[in-house]
């Protein structure tokens, strides 16, 4: 990828706070109560400590916990770009800030600031995790939707490689509508069934022929990221190519951003 300026080695490398490393360990320790997480694929050793962008699909409010476990398995401690609502929560908010995660205030005048904060973080040597779809996907078959250009613009601004991370099964633990009753019911069901949640790290996405600032480059990069994410997801749900077996009845259907796979 031809960035506006050639990426250089960071003067200081960002180090994950011990509190965030502890939360990763705790999540991996407690996860077997609810589900069995199977992690496949890997991230090259030279990229695990950054600079790196992880682009993940989004199917459930439980996804961040699943990815916390999966990245712990692969010895990665990413800074997660998360909605500002989490940072305003009484207990979760201070934990998010202490862990070094990045706040995104959607639908506000300052939403663009998060991209610059994330780009600076990557340049400092961080691994940053983003959801390129920009929301929990509402495709009825639960394939990735057409993405927003934020992940592509972050890659252009930082010059960092992008690795897709696909997950499947978290929707069986926590439903789309996160009422207390719904969460309790989902958790109780999961404790009995202990569903298998699969996470796969895909191959880095090639954006080397795209030039930042050229009209259409961000959109083409976004399409490649979503395509790479879709291919990575296809590898862990070969027995559910169409409609998922488990249907979350709280999830509304929206076809307005449906992505058509190549081929």
What's the full length of the chain, in residues? 263
- Write the DSSP assignment of 214-248 as a string of letters: STTHHHHHHHHHHHHHHHHHHTT-TT-SSS-SS--
The pLDDT of residue 181 is above 90: no
Neighbours of 237 (CB within 10 A): 18
| pLDDT one-digit tens code per residue, 50-95 | 899 999 999 999 999 999 999 999 999 999 998 887 888 888 889 9
As given in the structure block, the two tokens for residue 255 are 């076809």
Q: pTM value? A: 0.91
Q: Predicted confidence band at 209 (pLDDT cuts at 50, 70, 90)? A: very high
Q: Is the pLDDT score of 1 beyond 70? A: no
According to the model, what pLDDT value does residue 223 have? 96
Mark out the alpha helices in the chain (DSSP H runs): 18-30, 63-73, 84-88, 92-99, 111-123, 150-158, 180-193, 217-234
Q: How large a percentage of the chain has pLDDT more than 90?
A: 69
* Poorest-pLDDT segment among 1-5, 11-15, 105-109: 1-5
Per-residue CA distances from 93 to 24, 85, 96, 245 (Å): 16, 8, 5, 34
pLDDT at 155 > cutoff 50: yes
CA dihedral 111, 113, 118, 124 (to 10 degrees): -170
98-139: pLDDT as tens digits: 999 998 887 666 667 888 889 989 988 899 999 999 999 999
């Amino acid at each position: 990828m031809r960035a506006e300026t050639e990426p250089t080695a960071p003067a200081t490398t960002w180090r994950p706070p011990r509190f965030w490393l502890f939360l990763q360990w705790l999540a991996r320790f407690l996860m077997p109560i609810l589900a069995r997480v199977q992690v496949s694929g890997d991230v090259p050793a030279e990229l695990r400590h950054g600079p790196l962008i992880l682009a993940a699909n989004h199917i459930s409010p439980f996804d961040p916990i699943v990815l916390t476990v999966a990245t712990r398995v692969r010895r990665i401690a990413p800074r997660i770009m998360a909605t500002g609502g989490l940072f305003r929560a009484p207990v979760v908010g201070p934990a998010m800030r202490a862990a070094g995660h990045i706040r995104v205030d959607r639908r506000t005048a300052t939403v663009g600031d998060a991209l610059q904060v994330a780009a600076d973080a990557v340049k400092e040597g961080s691994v940053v995790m983003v959801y390129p779809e920009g929301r929990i996907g509402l495709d009825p078959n639960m394939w990735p939707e057409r993405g927003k250009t934020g992940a592509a613009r972050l890659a252009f601004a930082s010059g960092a490689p992008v690795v897709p991370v696909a997950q499947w099964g978290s929707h069986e633990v926590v439903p789309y509508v996160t009422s207390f009753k719904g969460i309790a019911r989902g958790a109780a069901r999961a404790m009995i069934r202990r569903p298998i949640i699969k996470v796969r790290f895909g191959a880095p996405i090639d954006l080397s022929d795209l030039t930042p600032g050229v009209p259409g480059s961000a959109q083409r990069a976004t399409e490649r990221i979503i395509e790479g994410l879709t291919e990575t997801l296809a590898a862990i749900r070969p027995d559910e190519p169409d409609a998922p077996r488990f249907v979350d009845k709280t999830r509304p259907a929206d076809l307005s951003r449906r992505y058509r796979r190549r081929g």
